[in-house]
Structure 1
Amino acid sequence: MTNPVISATGLWTPPHSISNAELVASYNAWADTWNRENEAEIKSGLMEPKTHSSVEFIEKASGIKSRFVVDKDGVIDPYIMAPRIAERPNEQISLLAEMAVFAARDALKAAGRSAEDVDAVICAASNMQRAYPAMAIEVQQALGIEGFAFDMNVACSSATFGIQTAADFIRAGHAKSVLMVNPEVCSGHLNFTDRDSHFIFGDVATAVLIEAEDIAPADHWKILGTKLKTQFSNNIRNNFGFLNRAAPEGVGAPDKLFIQEGRKVFREVVPMVAEMIGAHMGELGLTAPGLRRIWLHQANANMNRLIASKVLGREATEDESPTVLDTYANTSSAGSIIAFHKHSSDFKPGERGLICSFGAGYSAGTVFVERSR
């Protein structure tokens, strides 16, 4: 059986960033306008007034300080409160595919690969721009890759599910080199008028090149093991799809945008993920002291802190469990890959780490890796 490895990763970051202060100013201006427009109903008790958000509230609740977005103007305009992204003609590459191509080229360059070396493309993300043709096939065409391509969506766990799928293709002999991309325009499904979640997400694209060990560059990551888990829950949900549609102007159909029961998610996901990591470590004969670093899904700083402490048996240092949440916010499937991409170059041969994602579904995925010798 052929052993799969991670040959390289890639990252593309949008040019626009929104600070918490900018986001709060926009939300508070919108809230003031909403309160004025609904003053009579508020005074009669039929409606509750919208309360202000604050930088302190956001950072305490999430650890987020800023986020990158593909459209800044629409998001911070209190009369729009949503990204305004121009539709492109069918003959032009779509936004999501374009983002994925940028990240893919970064990964291919890092591995010293060309498109001709790749056998398959998987687009694994939460927020597909359309139902079909598959985004992955469009990426495949844009890069000039032969073979096959398809999309998959397991919400924030999509990247780890994509890595296992690619690794399985390689083990089975169906491919020697698989490009897995995670383009995320999370701002497109976020309700920027919801005080409890308007700060959560950002936009980005990542890529991971998974290959057979016998063709991989000398500097690669051995995949020691992968494990996936799902458990149905309504506590994180997005109802938008081809059987329904959101209101044409930003704020009118909140149930078609991102919604979550944050406290329930925290209480249920943290133990599920920690137990899953521990069980998988046991199956692979690994121990917590043998892990150099944990690259967790970047959803919430408090969740990551607690999961890491449960896995390690103590509080993790920033070096052991790095965060990119402060500058990127939650980027769904791409979060753990960004952390791995930006915080793995200091590994020595033989050192081991864990890429772990978790999110809606519920879903969770673990990928234990070892730096090549």
Structure 2
Amino acid sequence: MYKPAITGTGVFTPETVITNAELVDAFNAYADKWNAEHAEAIAAGEVEAKEHSSEDFIVKASGIEQRYVLDKTGVLDPEVMHPLLRQRSDEEPGVMAEMAVDACRKALAQAGKTAADVDAVICAASNLERAYPAVAIEIQDLLGIKGFAFDMNVACSSATFGIQAAADMIRSGSIRSAIVVNPEICSAHLEWRDRDCHFIFGDVATAVLIERSEDATGPYFEIKSTRCATEFSNNIRNNNGFLRRSRPDGMKDRRDMQFMQNGRKVFKEVLPMVSQHIADHMADEGIEAADLKRLWLHQANKTMNDFIGRKVLGRDPEPGEQPNILQDYANTSSAGSIIAFSKYSNDMEDGDKGVICSFGAGYSVGSVIVERHG
């Protein structure tokens, strides 16, 4: 049995930012327009007027202050309210593959490796640009990697599930290394016209290079153990898939075709599931809360992360023990915990342990226990 290790990470961050102030101005303009168009129905009590959003509401509900997106023009246009992403020809790289390649190259550079050192590519994301050919195979081709590639989708837990799949293959000896890459274009499946969720998501791509620990050329994080779990729930759902596109008459305004969430039920049901999952995983591996240097949690909501941190550690996390990147990136689905890991792991010392954990629709939860070496 070989020991799998994370030897490099990479993050692609779009150049474009939408601040809460910009988002609120656009949403409120849309709400005013909608209310004016439906004034008679509102006065008759047939429909409810749309409430304004506010910066205070967004920060209190989520901890989010801004988000990176591939396109802000469409999102901030009250007549459009979704990103305007150019339809690419079949001869061009797909938008997900393009951003994924950037993250992969950064992970390879950090590990001191090249495409020739990689045996497999797993593209793990909450929504995929197309059904086939696999986005992972396109990424493989653009990077010049031999071997094989495949896509997988476990919503917000896709990254940790992908890490488990890669780690298991490395442990068995079937491959020496793999890149797990998470291109997330969350702005394309968000309903920006819904006050309850219009602020939640951003765009990003992350990548981790996983190798046999014996092949590491620098400091690395040994993957000590992985664990995944799922339970079916409709409380987080997306019936449409990747992008908002024109649909037949009568379907274009179907709210259930975009991201939907019953926030109260998710909060009530997911938090105990995740907290217990991490606690059981640690107990089975003989790891106490005092043994943990860091928790890199899924970046969906600051209140949720604070709750999980307290449950796992048995106290309020100290500054730096449970880093959040929500305020800058917003919720980036499966990529969130990997952004946190990539940005807040360099200070770990030899022997320090931590847990990468993601959770979300499904329900799903994946945890990865790692230990720093070198």
Counterpart in 1 of 2:151? 151
Give the corresponding residue for 2:292: 291
What RMSD, in angstroms, separates the aligned Cα atoms of the two structures? Answer: 1.5
List structure 1 runs of 4+ shifted beyond 4 angstroms.
Answer: 248-251
Cα separation, 1, equivalents of 2:247 and 2:40: 25
Could you tell me whether the CA contact under 8 Å between 1:246 and 1:256 is conserved in 2? Answer: no
User: Equivalent residue for 2:5?
Assistant: 5
Contact 2:68–2:329 (Cα < 8 Å) also in 1: yes
- 2:10–2:207 contact (8 Å) kept in structure 1: yes
The answer on whether the counterparts of 1:81 and 1:251 sit within 8 Å (CA) in structure 2 is no
Q: Is the 8 A contact 1:353 1:370 kept in 2?
A: yes
Do the aligned residues in 2 keep the contact of 1:296 with 1:355 (CA within 8 Å)?
A: yes
Structure 1: distance between partners of 2:69 and 2:252: 18
Give distance in 2, aligned partners of 1:160 and 1:246: 33
SS at match of 1:223: strand
Show the counterpart of 1:353: 354
Superposition map of 1:267-278 within 5 A? 267-278=268-279
Corresponding residue for residue 31 of structure 2: 31
Q: Which runs of 5+ in 2 are unaligned?
A: none
Code of the residue aligned with 2:108 in structure 1: it is L
Q: Which amino acid aligns with 2:352?
A: E
CA distance in 1: counterparts of 2:333 and 2:287, whole angstroms: 27
- How far is the alpha carbon of 1:27 from its aligned partner? 0.3
What is the correspondence of 1:176-325 to structure 2 with a 5 Å cutoff? 176-241=176-241, 247=247, 252-325=253-326
The letter for the 2-side match of 1:102 is: D
> What is the CA–CA distance in structure 2 between the aligned matches of 1:248 and 1:27, rounded to whole Å?
25
Match in the other structure for 1:117 = 117
Q: Distance in 1 between matches of 2:277 and 2:108?
A: 32
1:63 aligns with 2:63: yes
Contact 1:236 1:258 in 2 (8 A): yes
The AA in structure 2 aligned to 1:64 is I
Given that residues 26 and 76 in structure 1 are in contact (C-alpha distance below 8 angstroms), is that contact kept between their aligned partners in structure 2? yes
Q: Distance in 1 between matches of 2:161 and 2:260?
A: 23
- Comparing 311-320 and 133-142, the one that deviates more: 311-320
SS in 1 for 2:8: strand
Deviation string 1:243-302 (CA, Å, 9 cap, x unpaired) is x97638997232110000001000101110000100000110000011001000000000
SS in 2 for 1:74: coil
SS at match of 2:209: strand
Deviations 1:332-361 (A, max 9, x none): 000000000000000110011110000000
Which blocks of at least 5 consecutive residues in structure 1 are unaligned?
none
2:29 alignment partner, SS class = helix
Q: Is the 8 A contact 2:241 2:258 kept in 1?
A: no
Q: Whole-Å Cα distance in 2 between the matches of residues 116 and 5 of structure 1? A: 18
Matched residue, 1:372: 373
Q: Distance in 2 between matches of 1:182 and 1:164?
A: 14
- Number of residue-to-residue matches in the alignment: 372
Tell me whether 272-281 or 216-225 shows the greater mean CA deviation: 216-225
CA distance in 2 between partners of 1:28 and 1:251 (Å): 22
Change (3 A) 1:196 1:121: same
User: 1:241: how far off?
Assistant: 4.6
1:89 and 1:117 map into 2 onto residues whose CA distance is 31
CA separation in 2, counterparts of 1:27 and 1:241?
23
Calculate the TM-score normalised by the size of structure 1. Answer: 0.98
Question: How much identity, in percent, do the aligned residues show?
Answer: 58
**Paired residue type of 1:339:** A
Residue 332 of structure 1 corresponds to 333
Query: How far did 1:317 drift?
Result: 2.2
CA contact (8 A) 2:14 2:203 kept: yes
Measured in 2, the distance between the counterparts of 1:245 and 1:111 equals 39
Q: Is residue 128–residue 241 contact of structure 2 (8 Å, CA) maintained in 1?
A: no
Q: What is the identity, as a one-letter code, of the residue corresponding to 2:2?
A: T
Q: How does 1:98-109 map to 2 (within 5 A)?
A: 98-109=98-109
